[in-house]
Chain A
Amino acid sequence: MTCFVTVGTTLFEDLINKVLSEESLRNLKKIGVKKIRLQIGKGNFENEVVHRVFKGVTSDEGYTNVEGLEIDYYRFKPSISEDMAEAFIVIGHAGAGTCLEVLALHLPFITVTNEKLMDNHQAELAVQLSDEGYLLHCTPSTLAETIVKEDLFSLRQFSAPSKKFVAEHIKQLVGIKNV
């Protein structure tokens, strides 16, 4: 029962700090999470989190155990697909690539928008997808309450539109004989 948290290549300290806040940890345990794996990107943990969760030591990667929750983190990996596939829920930044990758795996997914980024057009996709009920969407300050929303486990399954028909249409426009 792993919860995978990813910020992609962006700097998003609010997300990694809020996931490790007392309230979020409590709520994650409530829904059955036993292990949290964080991909923290360029960001760093807050002092409060460093002391409470990691007992004062953090570096580029590490491991700790808090009240029965295993937590490990790293900055970057060439491919986070395996970590994603192993997870039971995913919490991530609202980047389009991340959204589509997680939705292709049909996992319960919470996207968190960075309020500090002005004109974040990547978040458009996340908002649209959450309006249609494929994922949950929140901001760092509402993360803890979103985790315990019951919709999380009854999300619709998303399949990206197949490009096969587009290819057929294009062939028709070019005037290629259908063999």
Chain B
Amino acid sequence: MFFFFFVVVAVLLFGVLCLTAFMAFQVRHSNHSAKIKPKREKASLCAVLGSGGHTTEMLDLIKHFGDEFDERTYIIADTDTISEEKVRDIMSVLCPIVLLFKAVAHEKSRNNEKFCIERIPRSREVGQSYITSIASTFHATVFAVKLIYRIRPDLVLLNGPGTCIPVALAAAFFDIIRLHDTVIIYEESICRVRKLSLSGAILYYLGMVDCLIVQWPGLKKLYPRATYIHDLEFKPTSASESNSPITSDDKKSI
């Protein structure tokens, strides 16, 4: 009887502990709280690359980062399960590889040797049912936890593929247990006009991202905690250089 009572209390206390830790995490990572962070010069970055369009958009963002992110890790979804149909469609096989080479070429052009490419299993194939995808997401999460424990990134960049959920969970987990401070950023694709993608919505409702960037005003109205990309342009920042106008180079390089 006493033992039973003890277990119940222990479970309840553990639940309260988890909840408090999670709420503390959300407060630390909410978009609107003023951030007082120790200033630093270097940080490590971890970006999740998905299929074609996602990678293009991600590289478009990453090229604006300079030497301050010296250690970079690119995580790609493992494509070991190339189906027969996909082999016939040569473009869908080639595109991810081409984009991967692009990422490598981008890093090489910066003379940065400190980058690496990691692979994790896919959490959800296109068209996979939701129930079996829970199992494969769990499998991918175990992988992601090991991976994030090893690389301990200061910044995690996500933009859409299913693979980004396990990575976000792992990064948030190490932040919740206060092992490492990680900023998690999710950038929604420009293709999403009326609704967030599944990964975006999950991260939004769990409150796990520091900043969820959307590219259309309709999304900002529907998801008020998100950040609208054009609001950032006119945001007065502490630094002076953020006022400089967009150069024509910027536009063309898309």
Residues of A within 8 A of B (CB): 9, 76, 96-97, 100, 104, 121-122, 124-125, 127-128, 159-179
Contact = CB atoms under 8 A, between A and B. Distances in A.
Nearest to B210: A173
Given A96-B53, A162-B246, A125 B232 contact: no
A139 B192 CA distance: 21
A6 to B, nearest CB: 13
Given A104-B254, A167-B61, A176 B193 contact: no
Given A162-B233, A166-B64, 5 more contacts: A100-B190, A125-B190, A164-B246, A167-B61, A175-B39
Given A100-B190, A124-B194, A170 B41 contact: no
A168 B66 CA distance: 11
B8 interface: no
Contacts of A179: 41
Which of A122, A128, A160, A165 has the most chain B CB atoms closer than 10 A to its own CB? Answer: A165
Interface string B177-216: 0000001010101111110000000000000001101011
B154 interface: yes
Contacts of B227: 169
A109 to B, nearest CB: 15
**Which of A9, A161, A167, A170 has the most C-beta atoms of chain B within 10 angstroms of its own C-beta?**
A170
A83 to B, nearest CB: 16
Contacts of A76: 91
Contact of A170 (B52, B63, B211, B246): B211
B37 interface: yes
Interface stretch (B102-110, B112-120, B126-134, B236-244): B236-244
Contacts of A169: 211, 227, 232, 235, 237
A121 B250 CA distance: 28
Contacts of A177: 39-41
Interface of B: 35, 37-41, 43, 52-53, 56, 60-61, 63-65, 68, 89, 91-92, 154-155, 157, 183, 185, 187, 189-194, 210-211, 213, 215-216, 218, 227, 229-230, 232-233, 235, 237-239, 241-242, 246, 250-252, 254
A125 B229 contact: no
B251 A128 contact: no
B194 to A, nearest CB: 6
A161 B64 contact: no
A176 B251 contact: no
Contact of A165 (B155, B157, B194, B233): B233
Ordered nearest first, which 8 A-B pairs have the shortest CB separation? Answer: A175-B37, A167-B64, A178-B239, A96-B191, A165-B232, A128-B193, A163-B61, A124-B193
Contacts of B56: 97
Contacts of B154: 174
Contact of B64 (A9, A125, A164): A164
B232 A159 contact: no
8 contacts: A9-B92, A96-B53, A160-B190, A164-B246, A166-B187, A169-B211, A170-B155, A175-B35
Contacts of A122: 191
B56 to A, nearest CB: 8
A168 B243 CA distance: 11
A171 to B, nearest CB: 7
B153 to A, nearest CB: 10
A179 B42 CA distance: 12
Given A160-B190, A161-B229, A164-B64, A176 B237 contact: no
Given A166-B213, A175-B35, A9 B89 contact: yes
B191 A168 contact: no
Contact of B191 (A121, A163, A165, A170): A121
A9 B53 CA distance: 13
